[in-house]
Chain A
């Protein structure tokens, strides 16, 4: 009985310790992102890594999601003769939900893992300690550029993803479901508001922050050896994916109505 309670106590302590460590890491990360010096070259490198090199995977994901969405919503809406709304459903779903969430999850898999693996390897090979001994704060040199790049790149990726997703819906709508191209386009734009796109972009910035933060955090506190780095990589992807889904709901609630 005592050992059972001990285990529960240890698990609770572990949980609160991790929570406190993440809170401290986040505070430090935000603080050092705002304060100089700024490492421009590191930042530009991250813009390329997170933004440019994620374009193909985000583009492909949103293209096929837009296409599937058009087909599925047509099947559903045809049952009560509301096929006309397909274009509107596609554009609103893509800009408000599918674009940000799918792009976020894909980037979490690609970039979150790579950030955690890179920083984790730097941790286990003493490169982070070497930075400290060379009077350079790892938080500013490694973490800040990634967080800033994540917050800037994700909205850009989502914007491109939105366009490609809507284009996917258009392709299916016009060439497979025989919609009139100009009517499909006018229906696409008719009910779309700036707030729909803006909401998706705000979500994207939040997701970008969370992906970079979780990648950096798990890499920074990576365990020793290949196993430690592997675990850090997995934890970075899992935790950022879960946080994306939770924050997606919270931001939606915030802007609902």
Chain B
């Protein structure tokens, strides 16, 4: 086998695999059996109505929430039921941005960006500041912001700092929870471009939760839609307009008429 063919097969290897993942809170069955797989260096967008369990799926993947049943594998390693130490080791290969940034209010930007490197790898103050400047400059921010605090930045700048924090120690897997929510279309477009660049530059596997279909079309190779706690469709981003599934069609095109009524959403939310 040639080196190129081997590399191609290697690239197609499954990075993340979720099988029959179930999660219940009280009487509410949020995930009823999620089946999902993401290949290495692939960018998957997870879509679905609010409260359908997208964020819970990501949190299960990170081990922030323990799934009640099913299997979640990262690089073939089972993480469901893994002990805390194994999970902490695994999390080092993840970088995540949260919906509202989740930057640490009490720390300046440079410490936010290099938090893991400072705490885990004992990176020196000077090296950390240099790395923070390098990372935020790549994301189009001025080096002067490194000594500011998160509250002093605009929403778009905070999202870029959150992205800088996620990519600072070059993780293999990047997770984005609604990276463009609350941003104007121009800033949203800039964030999308930065995400695409960062994922490409790091050769990372990415999973993005988004309601913004324009953003999904830009950043994703593959799309999966969650409805009623299960994946009802997954496929290439180019195929999502013609799935023939009414729920997917309604969601993708933002139609008010269709099976996803507000009453049905409320019913699903109540479980």
Binding site for B on A (CB under 8 A): 37, 45, 121-122, 125-127, 129-130, 132-137, 141
Chain A residues in 8 Å Cβ range of B95: 133
Does B115 lie within 8 Å of A136, measured CB to CB?
yes
Closest 6 CB pairs of A and B: A126-B102, A130-B102, A126-B98, A134-B116, A133-B96, A127-B102
List the count of A-B residue pairs having beta carbons below 8 Å apart.
Answer: 51
Return the chain A residue nearest B120 by Cβ. Answer: A135
Does B64 lie within 8 Å of A132, measured CB to CB?
yes
| Chain B interfacial residues counted at CB < 8 A | 23
Binding site for A on B (CB under 8 A): 59, 62, 64, 88, 91-92, 94-96, 98-106, 115-116, 119-120, 165
Return the chain A residue nearest B97 by Cβ. Answer: A130
- Among A125, A132, A135, A137, the residue within 8 A (CB) of B100 is A125
Does B64 lie within 8 Å of A133, measured CB to CB?
yes
Which applies to chain A's interface (DSSP): helix, strand, loop or mixed? helix
Measured CB to CB, the closest approach of chain A to B180, in angstroms, equals 17
Does B99 lie within 8 Å of A126, measured CB to CB?
yes
- Between B64, B96, B101, B102, the greatest number of chain A beta carbons within 10 A of the residue's beta carbon is seen for B102
- Among B102, B105, B116, the residue within 8 A (CB) of A136 is B116
Which applies to chain B's interface (DSSP): helix, strand, loop or mixed? mixed
Question: Known contacts A133-B64, A133-B91; is A127 also within 8 Å of B120 by CB?
Answer: no
- Among A45, A127, A129, A136, the residue within 8 A (CB) of B64 is A129
Does B119 lie within 8 Å of A129, measured CB to CB?
no
Chain A residues in 8 Å Cβ range of B96: 130, 133
Does A136 lie within 8 Å of B100, measured CB to CB?
no
Bound together, the chains give a CA A45 to CA B98 distance in angstroms of: 26
Measured CB to CB, the closest approach of chain A to B89, in angstroms, equals 8
- Between A121, A135, A136, the greatest number of chain B beta carbons within 10 A of the residue's beta carbon is seen for A135
Return the chain A residue nearest B119 by Cβ. Answer: A136
Does B100 lie within 8 Å of A126, measured CB to CB?
yes
Chain A residues in 8 Å Cβ range of B88: 135, 137
Bound together, the chains give a CA A209 to CA B91 distance in angstroms of: 32
Does B91 lie within 8 Å of A127, measured CB to CB?
no
Measured CB to CB, the closest approach of chain A to B128, in angstroms, equals 14
Measured CB to CB, the closest approach of chain A to B239, in angstroms, equals 31
Bound together, the chains give a CA A122 to CA B165 distance in angstroms of: 17
Chain B residues in 8 Å Cβ range of A121: 105
Bound together, the chains give a CA A37 to CA B103 distance in angstroms of: 22
Bound together, the chains give a CA A137 to CA B64 distance in angstroms of: 11
Return the chain B residue nearest A127 by Cβ. Answer: B102
Bound together, the chains give a CA A122 to CA B101 distance in angstroms of: 12
Question: Known contacts A129-B59, A129-B64; is A135 also within 8 Å of B102 by CB?
Answer: no
Return the chain A residue nearest B95 by Cβ. Answer: A133
Measured CB to CB, the closest approach of chain A to B261, in angstroms, equals 25
Told that A130-B98, A135-B116, A141-B119 touch, could you supply 20 new A-B pairs with CB distance under 8 A? A121-B105, A125-B100, A125-B101, A126-B98, A126-B99, A127-B105, A129-B98, A130-B96, A130-B104, A133-B62, A133-B64, A133-B94, A133-B96, A134-B91, A134-B115, A134-B116, A135-B88, A135-B92, A136-B119, A137-B88
Bound together, the chains give a CA A125 to CA B119 distance in angstroms of: 21
